[in-house]
Amino acid sequence: MITDEQAADAVELMRLCRFFPSSELQRAQVAGLLVDMVETKGQLDWLVTAQCKLDWQGPAELRALFSTRFQPCDAMAAVDPERAYFECEAAATDRRISEWKREQKLLGEPPAVIDAAPAIKRVDRTADDLQFERVQQHLGKEVKPIHIPATPTRTPEERAALLHEMETALGIEDIPRRFGYCSAFEQIPGSDFRFRPNLPVCSGEPA
């Protein structure tokens, strides 16, 4: 076992460590710990050298550092605070699980859970959907699609009446008679002559 003088010298050297206690009473406690824990001068020199390379973190960490190389003389094993914390949490978790299982036995088996969620049918996205998503990402906001109504389907009579209305509004319904084009126009019900661009044009008076 080391002497008190050797422990006091070791404490003076460890004052080089950052956060080492400045109180005389605290340093005396560290010296007493060294006397109880360290057996030889060689062990003490190794401990001082190793501790001076680290920040001071308390007597428990000093004992843990010494226990990595030697067995303490007072037969008190070093306790890793982190390991002790995890072991305590694991024990508490096991205890809660055991209590929960015991309560389940007293209450009986829980009813089976019925999955009432409807099956979701996967719909593959089209190229238009992907393009729409890229436009949204580029603009950085939601883009609402433009609704384009379908083209109405008209009967031949409705188309003829609409064409006659347009010719009347444009003032072109008398063009065939004034210019004498006969075969280039055709007579349709409900309207005057209508221009047919795919037919040859002939001169003469209209029939």
Please write the tens of the pLDDT for every residue from 51-69: 999 999 999 899 989 988 9
Domain count, the chain: 3
pTM over 0.85: no
- Domain residues for 56? 4-77
Classify residue 46: in a domain, yes or no: yes
Whether 113 is covered by a domain: the verdict is no
| Pair 65, 89 in one domain | no
Asked if residue 146 belongs to a domain, the reply is: no
Whether residues 63 and 101 share a domain: the answer is: no
Domain closes at, from 27, 62, 77: 77
Displacement of CA 132 from its chain's centroid (Å):
23
The answer to which of 4-8, 87-91, 181-185, 189-193 has the lowest mean pLDDT is 181-185
- Shared domain for 9 and 72, answered yes or no, is yes
One domain, residues 42 and 55: yes
Task: Name every residue whose Cβ is closer than 8 Å to that of residue 7 and which is 6 or more positions away in sequence.
Answer: 31, 32, 34, 35, 38, 44
pLDDT attached to residue 137 = 75
- 68-116 confidence digits (pLDDT tens): 899 898 877 555 666 666 777 888 888 889 888 888 888 776 556 555 5
Q: Domain ends where: 24, 54, 77?
A: 77
Tokens of 149: 């109504």
127, part of any domain:
no
In a domain, 166, yes or no: yes
**Rounded CA separation 207/202 (Å):** 12
Exposed, middle or buried by CB within 10 Å (0-12, 13-18, 19+), for 59?
middle
What's the mean pLDDT when you consider all of the chain? Answer: 76
Q: Are residues 67 and 8 in the same domain?
A: yes
CA distance 166 to 191: 11
Q: What SS3 class is residue 125? A: coil
% of the chain at pLDDT higher than 70: 65
Residue 34 CB contacts under 8 Å (≥ 6 apart), including other chains:
2, 7, 10, 11, 44, 47
Judgement on whether residues 30 and 44 belong to the same structural domain of the protein:
yes
Per the domain annotation, does 47 fall within a domain? Answer: yes
**Residue 11: count of CB within 10 angstroms of its CB:** 21
Taking residues 147-176, what's their average pLDDT?
A: 77
